[in-house]
Structures are given as C-alpha cells and as structure tokens.
Amino acid sequence: MLKVAIATASTEKIKGIKEGISRFYHLEQTEVELYSKSTESGVPRQPFGDETYEGAINRVNGIKKEFPGMDLYISCEAGIENAFGQYFNVQIVCIFETKSQMYFWGKSSGWSIPTEDIEIIKSNTLDTYLRRKGISCIEELLGTSNSRSLAVAQATELALASGRLRNN
C-alpha cells in the first residue's frame, strides 16, 4: 500500500493526483491510501511565475507536518507563467519522496491567456476573470477532454518521472 498525503481539499486535484499515481506505478486506486488537507501556500491567491513553484513547495512542506510517515507528500499549485510575451495557465506538482528525501517536480501543458487581459487577472484571479467571460467551469473553456483533474494527473506523472531519473 502506497501512503500519500496531498496538500489540498480540491476534489479535482485529489482525483488527478490519484489518477496520476495509479497510472505511473500501475496500481489499482485501492492500493493507494490517501490523506488530504488544505495547507497554506504562502503566495498570492493568483500566483505568477516562480510564486507558483514557491506555493507548491510551501504546501508540500506544510502537509509533511500534518501526516508523518507517508511515502509521498504531494501538492499542486495552479499558476500563470510568462514565456515569449505569452501567458499560460499551468498546474505545478511538487512531490516529496520520503525514501530518497528528494523533491520532484512536474508541470502540465498550459493554455494561453490573452496578453491584453493579464492585468485584469493580476488584480483579481483567473477564476474571477473566467466568470466575467461567462465561463463557470474549466471544461466550458477547454472541452471535456482537458479537465483540471487531467492536467493535474499529467503533472503528477511527470513529477514522478523526474523522480525516477534522480533515483536511478
């Protein structure tokens, strides 16, 4: 049984992390024992750039204090990155593996946000911005094959893959 503590109360993030772990390790979801609790990120509600990574590691370190003795400690922080003058919403997953005492990172694919709207998001949040655009859930924007839980699952698997590289 793989024991995992997740630094969130979000059902979408929990679902994505559990899916990513199960696929990566080829486990049945019943072979993963999950504990979850929301922890503080220590960054603004709408993180940009490095704040997203900082929030993810802060959450992992917070959950480690809440649930000692786990195999993995995982957090997922959604944030906005800037590359070549374009802004992208991404999911950043940070994993602390107890056995190796190492942190592993993964990032989902991202979707572009219009540059002219970024100041609106900076003064509010991405969720507020999307609601003002008439979008009440992310599937309305991305379609059903690109849900938040799938992006989190992707980032989780990529973080675990980076851990495999470091452990071999």
| Predicted confidence (pLDDT) per residue in 101-138, tens digit | 999 999 998 889 999 999 999 988 888 888 988 888 77
- pLDDT-based confidence at 37, cuts 50/70/90? very high
Tokens of 50: 């490095």
Looking at residue 142, its pLDDT comes to: 75
Looking at residue 167, its pLDDT comes to: 64
Q: Is the dihedral of CA 18, 19, 20, 22 positive or negative?
A: positive
Q: Which positions ≥6 away from 47 have C-beta within 8 Å?
A: 41, 54, 55, 77, 78, 79, 80
Does residue 162 carry a pLDDT above 80?
yes
Tell me, which fold does domain 2-112+148-167 have in CATH? Maf protein (3.90.950)
- pLDDT-based confidence at 41, cuts 50/70/90? very high
Looking at residue 136, its pLDDT comes to: 83
Q: Amino acid identity, residue 149?
A: S
* Mean pLDDT value of segment 14-24: 94
- pLDDT-based confidence at 168, cuts 50/70/90? low
Instruction: Output 107 or 29, whichever has higher pLDDT.
Output: 107
Q: Is the pTM of this model over 0.95?
A: no
Does residue 161 carry a pLDDT above 80?
yes
- For the chain, what is the mean pLDDT? 91
Looking at residue 146, its pLDDT comes to: 65
Looking at residue 145, its pLDDT comes to: 67
* Mean pLDDT value of segment 149-166: 90
Does residue 139 carry a pLDDT above 80?
no
